[in-house]
Structure 1
């Protein structure tokens, strides 16, 4: 099984298609290797999503990266909410 290097993949996301491919790769990784996921349930995943986002300043600081200032938060919220209903 070829393991996707997600950290490296993120560096190459420049379009909607790239993002869709990334999300699909995450889903496939969960299906093929659920034991590698710290948060394999939707409830755990969403909790980790909110917690990491709340604490993300520390991630950027600890990795000597600039904190992004142009994050389209409402767009992410739209994507997440639409995923609740979309078939």
Structure 2
């Protein structure tokens, strides 16, 4: 697919530790999308977002330990969702 370069959401997943944190993170992602994300995100449509989500979920980040990438956590879910908004 040909995508123009856009940005990822401004929502920050770094403090997501609990389910409630994850819910607040999702609210921040939604607010960013509603304010300008549809026009500015790399993956501002459901099809492109799901494509990015699928691609990033299968990818491994070079600077993160493999163990951290295999242990499910609310923060990992948040990082995957954030990345899916801008992953090419």
Shorter-chain TM range is 0.5 to 0.7
* Structure with greater helix percent: 1
- Which residue of structure 2 aligns with residue 31 of structure 1? 34
Q: Structure 1, unaligned stretches of length 5 or more? A: 77-87
| Mapping for residues 1-87 of structure 1, pairs under 5 Å | 5-6=10-11, 9-33=12-36, 34-54=38-58, 56-57=59-60, 60-61=61-62, 64-67=63-66, 68-71=69-72
Which contiguous aligned blocks of 4+ residues in structure 1 show a shift greater than 6 angstroms?
none
| Residues 35 and 48 of structure 1: CA distance in aligned 2, closer, same or farther (over 3 Å) | same
Structure 1 residues 39 and 23, CA, compared in 2 at 3 Å: closer, same or farther? same
> So what's the TM-score if we normalise by structure 2?
0.60
Using CA pairs below 8 Å that are at least 6 residues apart, which structure has the higher relative contact order? 2
Runs (5+) with no aligned partner, structure 2: 1-8, 78-88
Deviation at 1:38, TM superposition (A): 0.9
RMSD: 2.0
Q: Give the count of matched residue pairs.
A: 63
Task: Tell me how far 1:52 sits from its aligned partner.
Answer: 1.2
Q: Distance in 1 between matches of 2:24 and 2:40?
A: 20
